[in-house]
Chain A
Amino acid sequence: MSAVLPAAEPVPQTPFRRFLEEFFESKLATLGFVMLAGIVLLALLAPLLAPQNPYDLAKLELLDARLEPGARSVAGITYLLGTDGQGRDMLSAILYGLRVSLYVGVVSGIIALTLGALTGVLAAYAGGRIEQFVMRVVDIQLGFPAILVALILLAVLGKGVDKIIIALVCVQWAYYARTARSAALVERGKEYMEAARGLGLSGTRIVLRHLLPNALPPLIVVATVQVAHAIALEATLSFLGLGLPTTEPSLGLLIANGYEYLMSGKYWISFTPGVALLATILAINLVGDQLRDVLNPRLAK
């Protein structure tokens, strides 16, 4: 608790600049950031970059099914990463799959963060019974394995990107709520909070303008880890055949499709989407690790 007060810096630096400098001190984190930026760019530009729209069944050519990486199609296009069992260009499918993965991960992360942070901070601020109640709900939620809750929810809700996001928000908000509460508890006891209360500010204003912003750094760290977690969870659910329609495969579904060919030596159908998934999660985690180090006041230089 001793190192919390921001020490006066002699150099006229903005906090953001300082943050950037500290962040890019690590080569690994820089690599992670570059990878992540690249992946995000690829995902965003997928419709422009992909040689084929893998979700348009009319564009697929069954006669090109299970071609090796580098093979040429009936029509003369080169499939750089080969094709899957339906004649779908793997490169295009992976680019579009990344889009889905990131979209699902980020959107569910933002919603869960908002929900979780609000409930957590409110619980900490309100204290007493409300806090007890909210935190017991969080405990119960965290007591169930995430995959189980998500499976049950999807079995009930059915298929679709929106349904996956709902399921992921439901399993994730509790992590944010718990982190937000503990951060808010620490902040609540601090002098600036007393000052704010002494000034007679309204509860809403104190929570939103003072408590929440100061509880944010640990939440950002949790968020990066959770986004990676959400992407992995979505892939798992798709692998199990829940979540997205079979004709619009995400990375998990691509891996599941290729898994059937693993024993017959057609490794690329499973392998390349697997590498893409791995790279995405690795990049996010590298960035997340460094964020944690930089934003952790205890490790501050």
Chain B
Amino acid sequence: MKIRIAFLAALAAVSFPAAAQELSVGLSTPVTTMDPHFHNLTPNNSLAKHLFETLVHQDDQQALRPGLAESWKALDDTTWEIKLRKNVRWHDGAPFTAEDVLATLKRIPNVPNSPASFAIYTRPISDARAKDPHTLILTTRAPHPLLPNDLATIHIISAKMAGMGTPDYNSGKAVNGTGPYKFGEYVSGDRVVLVANDKYWGPKPAFPKIRFRMITNSPARVAALLAGDAQMIEAVPTADIANLKKDARVTLASTVSNRIIYLHMDSGRERNSPFVTDTAGRPLEANPLRDPRVRKAISMMIDRNAIVSRIMEGEAKPAGQFLPETFHGTSRKLQPEKYDPDGAKKLLAAAGYPNGFGLTLHTPNNRYINDEKIAQAVAQFLTRGGIPTKVDAMPSAVFFSRGSKLEFSFLLAGWGAGTGENSSPLRSLVASFDPKLGNGAANRGRFSDAGVDAMIHTALSTIDDTKRGLMLAAAADKAIGELTGVIPLHYEVSTWGMKKGLAYKARVDQGTFAHEVVPAKK
């Protein structure tokens, strides 16, 4: 131990004085593109926010703040007037106007080969026009009170670059934003370099140059921080948090995030679900996962507190629904399911499976904090509860494409509410799959219930905030509490590590925003 610390201290002493002008940030998940409209993925969106901006910003708690729009208001149920900021310039010097927003809205549904499109956020908008260069009128198909939340996810590109394809963005040619940083360099899977935008309209970023390095290996990321190769890292591994807290060279920032880790079960297929077997491992024709009692039993077999304390080392919070109670539209009734293996056994027997059945749990192994380990722990609990469970872990790229093709019966995944309220997970995870409405985009278990669908639908067109919140909560009560369409496990606590002397306000959306990193006040 002592030798190790001395060795690292020596390393750190050598390399700390190197970079003062440049901030080097270790990212945990690779950024897959520089095109802000290509792939709706938290690491991509987080990086895009340095280069591009949205009309509506979100603060660290995801509360809405004026961004490229100075103000917005609903003229009637379906018409919105948005006042744009006047003194904003693109990185190439051209002024920002309503034309740019119109071009953005037009481009988003038409990005070829997009693996996760942003179109769900533009779909409610039926018409957009510019009243004058700095006033925008948006019309929605139906009353859509969440329009400002949706706008907070849409990165505005300059009209000049609207015709450019994703490869042009990845090469940097088309990256012309209004954000606090300008494009420097992008090497896929390795690094992104950004330089400060001196003409930025908002607060000037503290560092003239940012170097994002993708260090997907967790111990390597911590080593980079301790050695001074990175001044900041995201996703500090839970195993190291206790030690880093004691380390005088490091500051940590952490918060419970908006990301739920959950289990999805194949409740769509009536028979021959691909990874459901009998206890001996032979394929099972019937699909027990369609029975809500079986899903509830699975939920009861899992000791969430043990997972949080042992696997997550306390850096997570047991979950009973999609978002912590502080978020809008969450239920007051739903509590984390109590660990009750005996009750689960009875329920399983009542559902006609007294001897259980077999499952394979599929999980990504590089996407969520301890994802593969959580899956193994879940498999432990299920196996003990009479459902022998295998674990098949794979890189997230493979996992998501196979999962979306419905190749799994039982999977572990996570969802961060991009809009900062409960309709986002409800629509994506438990609303019936309907690409036309943009519903069920991540409903890889194909859970479907007409009642839940109706509640979500009505809620989404309810203007009154309180009423909408109650309706969303009721939908969650039914989808999770009554039908166990999804099994919530826990909310991730996200932790950033910085060298002493830097400060960062931990964000619930898990974004790593280098422009919000500042020297700590003395």
Residues of A within 8 A of B (CB): 56-58, 60, 62-63, 65-66, 85-87, 159, 241, 245-247, 259-266
Contact = CB atoms under 8 A, between A and B. Distances in A.
9 contacts: A56-B383, A60-B380, A86-B376, A87-B310, A246-B393, A263-B239, A264-B239, A265-B243, A266-B239
B378 to A, nearest CB: 10
Interface string B360-383: 000001000000110011011101
B239 A62 contact: no
A62 B306 contact: yes
Contacts of B392: 159, 245
B228 to A, nearest CB: 15
A57 B311 CA distance: 15
B393 A241 contact: yes
Interface string B386-412: 001111110000000000000000000
B310 A260 contact: no
Nearest to B373: A85
Interface in B416-458: none
B393 to A, nearest CB: 5
A58 B380 contact: yes
A259 to B, nearest CB: 6
Contacts of B384: 57-58
B310 A66 contact: yes
A86 B243 contact: no
A259 B239 CA distance: 11
Contacts of A159: 392
A264 B5 CA distance: 11
B19 to A, nearest CB: 22
A262 B384 CA distance: 30
A259 B372 CA distance: 15
Contacts of B242: 264
Contact of B391 (A85, A246, A265): A246
A62 B311 contact: yes
Contact of B240 (A58, A85, A247, A263): A263
Name, among B4, B240, B306, B310, the residue most crowded by chain A CB atoms within 10 Å (CB to CB): B310
Interface of B: 1, 4, 218-219, 222-223, 237, 239-240, 242-243, 303, 306-307, 310-311, 365, 372-373, 376-377, 379-381, 383-384, 388-393
- 4 tightest A-B contacts by CB? A57-B383, A65-B310, A264-B239, A58-B384
Given A62-B311, A260-B237, A264-B242, A247 B218 contact: no
Given A86-B373, A265-B243, A65 B311 contact: yes
A62 B310 contact: yes
B193 to A, nearest CB: 27
Given A57-B383, A262-B219, A62 B240 contact: no
B303 A246 contact: no
A85 B391 CA distance: 15
A186 B4 CA distance: 54
Contact of A245 (B218, B219, B240, B390): B390
B303 A62 contact: yes
A23 B384 CA distance: 51
A233 to B, nearest CB: 21
Contact of A246 (B310, B372, B381): B372
B303 A260 contact: no
Contacts of B388: 57-58
Given A241-B365, A260-B237, A62 B380 contact: yes
B244 to A, nearest CB: 9
Nearest to A269: B239
A241 B395 CA distance: 10
Contacts of A245: 390-392
Nearest to A56: B383
Contacts of B239: 85, 260-261, 263-264, 266
Contacts of A56: 383
Nearest to A262: B219
Given A62-B311, A63-B310, A85-B311, A263 B380 contact: no
Given A62-B306, A62-B307, A247 B219 contact: no
Given A62-B306, A245-B391, A260-B218, 17 more contacts: A57-B376, A57-B380, A57-B384, A62-B377, A65-B310, A86-B380, A245-B392, A246-B376, A247-B376, A247-B391, A260-B219, A260-B237, A260-B239, A262-B219, A263-B237, A263-B239, A264-B239
Contacts of A265: 1, 4, 243
B223 to A, nearest CB: 7
A63 B306 CA distance: 6
Contact of A263 (B243, B310, B379): B243
B377 A86 contact: yes
A62 B223 CA distance: 28
B219 A259 contact: yes
Nearest to A158: B392
Contacts of B4: 265
A84 B388 CA distance: 21
A263 B311 CA distance: 16
B66 to A, nearest CB: 42
Contacts of A266: 239
Contacts of A60: 380
B182 to A, nearest CB: 35
A245 B393 CA distance: 8
Question: Which of A86, A246, A262, A263 has the most chain B CB atoms closer than 10 A to its own CB?
Answer: A263
Contact of A57 (B218, B310, B389): B389
Nearest to B398: A155
A57 B4 CA distance: 34
A259 B310 CA distance: 17
B231 to A, nearest CB: 18
B488 to A, nearest CB: 19
B383 A263 contact: no
Contacts of A62: 303, 306-307, 310-311, 377, 380-381
A165 to B, nearest CB: 20
Contacts of A86: 373, 376-377, 380
Contacts of B223: 263
B31 to A, nearest CB: 22
A211 to B, nearest CB: 46
B390 A263 contact: no
A198 B156 CA distance: 88
A162 to B, nearest CB: 16
Contact of A58 (B243, B377, B383): B383
A264 B222 CA distance: 10
B120 to A, nearest CB: 33
A252 to B, nearest CB: 15
A296 B229 CA distance: 52
A264 B245 CA distance: 11
A189 to B, nearest CB: 54
Contacts of B306: 62-63
Given A62-B377, A246-B372, A247-B379, A263 B219 contact: yes
Contacts of B373: 85-86
A58 B218 CA distance: 29
A75 to B, nearest CB: 13
Contacts of B218: 260
A57 B222 contact: no
